[in-house]
A = this chain, B = another copy of it.
């Protein structure tokens, strides 16, 4: 490395490590009466929150949790979970965000692999843990998170959360330690093999938070988040740090609303009663909320929603916008903490007409601050940002997992050549906007050309006959692969022929947008598309369904 100038610090100088406790400390700047709310129940202001974090730290250390230990949480989105977001890493322990949607065997696998020592478990997940308890090799104690006091369980619990918290001291001297200490871990499921553990340090989470505040607040026109915002997550808190926004909201000291288990009617109520201004979710959740609202004639003016996890379709974007929602796209994944890019619209785009503006809102957008995002050909060459060249999206940022826990080979694959490989195929336009075209594993290679399953899905979805669609490639002796569409009809039970799809797509062939060989010969109708544990369309399952018998 180059020989630069470094000056030894004064021996008394404080070498400030980037620790999660600094995020909580920053919240104390904002002594307006912003409060934290759980399912409509007011909890406390930020001074109260700080005390609760101290109490939880005392509770955990009292139960024998030490720096370097791992604490698992299994809860819906709650103030309790937010307390764990801070207290667990702030005592030097690791917070394992358990994905409660995995199968019981997978959950047990992740808990053993992460070496969980203590488990904070919500009553709703007791049956799950009770059945897998015998498989758990490292867990020493359990704390019950209950809604209305203790409930019966066969688990050897140390007590119920609120009862235990009640007797704790509300002060704690959080120590300094290395900013590269691991703060959080969670597991990502691929199509094959065991779940893989990603992990993030205090430094990474602080930098992710600082970046997210700056990127979201500095948006053109109205800030996406600022100190006046009201935040409610609609992405589970176990899912990639709820996109990191609980840390962002806390740093800004804004009102936070935690909705518990997602119930459309409850969510509607909470948004209205608390005038929620900013949320984030996968398309499915927004569809659910919009459907519930439509039944009641509710609108959402002033609500900003960041969509991620699956592609935001123009149809859903337009529907949301017509209900008053300021909708945009976030691009990230478990390995990336998660924020890589956001469809932050500049003044020019905000002046565009409906469909053209929607196109930008549904793209993955521009990289967040400090993110070096590029597209790479299969030979490792970087491709131009010309709006045409398709390549794998690779990325460098200060908050990417530095590997998969105890998986050296997969770690090196992830970081091949010093760039994190997202497994996504994208195009970058001359104005810097990233558009995701496909997953590498979903892109369809037919006759030596690439067909983007995602783009084909978008076009098919525009047909008035179609409510939902998934396109996959199936092996073909002549062409290598051929696209197959699995569709959900807009009006179930009506007559349908694949010719309707062919006719619909032919207009895009005629306009030159796609080639004729993009048109699938096989179109299967289903009642509902199968989804994975995190709500994404399960193409693996569709592939097994779509294979010619």
List 22 A-B residue pairs with CB atoms under 8 Å apart, sorted by A's residue number: A1-B178, A2-B67, A3-B92, A4-B177, A6-B180, A7-B402, A11-B412, A13-B415, A13-B418, A13-B420, A15-B402, A16-B396, A22-B372, A26-B371, A210-B211, A210-B214, A210-B369, A213-B218, A214-B251, A219-B226, A220-B227, A221-B228
Given contacts A67-B4, A210-B214, contact A369 B221 (CB under 8 A): no
Q: For the complex, is A31 an interface residue (Cβ under 8 Å from B)?
A: yes
Contacts of A181 in B (CB 8 A): 4-6
Determine the main DSSP class of A at the interface with B: loop
Complex Cα gap A371–B405 (Å):
33
Q: Would B228 and A14 count as touching, CB distance under 8 A? A: no
Smallest Cβ-Cβ distance to A33: which chain B residue: B348
A412-452 contacts to B, CB under 8 A, are 412, 414-420, 430-432
Q: Would B14 and A415 count as touching, CB distance under 8 A? A: yes
A193-230 contacts to B, CB under 8 A, are 199, 201, 206-207, 210-211, 213-214, 217-221, 223, 225-228
Complex Cα gap A29–B206 (Å):
22
- A13-B415, A16-B396, A26-B371 known, 19 other contacts, Cβ within 8 Å: A1-B176, A2-B92, A3-B92, A5-B67, A5-B70, A6-B178, A6-B180, A10-B414, A13-B403, A16-B400, A26-B369, A28-B432, A29-B369, A32-B347, A210-B210, A210-B214, A210-B370, A217-B223, A218-B252
Choose one: B92, B199, B217; the contact of A7 (CB below 8 Å). B199
Q: Would B31 and A396 count as touching, CB distance under 8 A? A: no
Contacts of A220 in B (CB 8 A): 226-228
What sequence of 0s and 1s flags, for each residue 39-75 of chain A, a beta carbon within 8 Å of any chain B beta carbon? 0000000000000000000000000000110100000
Q: Would B228 and A347 count as touching, CB distance under 8 A? A: yes
Q: For the complex, is A398 an interface residue (Cβ under 8 Å from B)?
A: yes
How many chain copies? 2
Given contacts A13-B402, A217-B214, A218-B226, contact A29 B411 (CB under 8 A): no
Contacts of A288 in B (CB 8 A): none
Choose one: B10, B26, B199, B347; the contact of A403 (CB below 8 Å). B10
Choose one: B5, B70, B370; the contact of A26 (CB below 8 Å). B370
Q: Would B223 and A411 count as touching, CB distance under 8 A? A: no
Q: Give the size category of A's interface with B.
A: 35 or more
Q: Would B4 and A68 count as touching, CB distance under 8 A? A: yes
A91-123 contacts to B, CB under 8 A, are 92, 94
On A, residues with C-beta under 8 Å from B are 1-7, 9-16, 18, 22, 25-26, 28-32, 67-68, 70, 92, 94, 175-178, 180-182, 199, 201, 206-207, 210-211, 213-214, 217-221, 223, 225-228, 251-252, 344, 346-348, 366-367, 369-372, 396-398, 400, 402-403, 405, 408, 411-412, 414-420, 430-432
Q: 4 closest A-B pairs (Cβ-Cβ)?
A: A9-B402, A4-B181, A213-B214, A10-B411
Q: Would A22 and B370 count as touching, CB distance under 8 A? A: yes
Smallest Cβ distance from A416 to chain B, in angstroms?
6
Given contacts A32-B346, A68-B3, A369-B251, contact A403 B9 (CB under 8 A): yes
Contacts of A366 in B (CB 8 A): 29-30
Q: Would A14 and B420 count as touching, CB distance under 8 A? A: yes
Contacts of A6 in B (CB 8 A): 178, 180-182, 201
Smallest Cβ-Cβ distance to A175: which chain B residue: B2
Q: Would A67 and B251 count as touching, CB distance under 8 A? A: no
Smallest Cβ distance from A130 to chain B, in angstroms?
28
Smallest Cβ-Cβ distance to A365: which chain B residue: B29
Smallest Cβ distance from A375 to chain B, in angstroms?
15
Smallest Cβ-Cβ distance to A369: which chain B residue: B26
Q: Would B30 and A346 count as touching, CB distance under 8 A? A: yes
Smallest Cβ distance from A391 to chain B, in angstroms?
18
Complex Cα gap A3–B181 (Å):
9
Complex Cα gap A107–B47 (Å):
49
Given contacts A397-B16, A412-B10, contact A31 B178 (CB under 8 A): no
Smallest Cβ distance from A337 to chain B, in angstroms?
12
Complex Cα gap A213–B211 (Å):
9
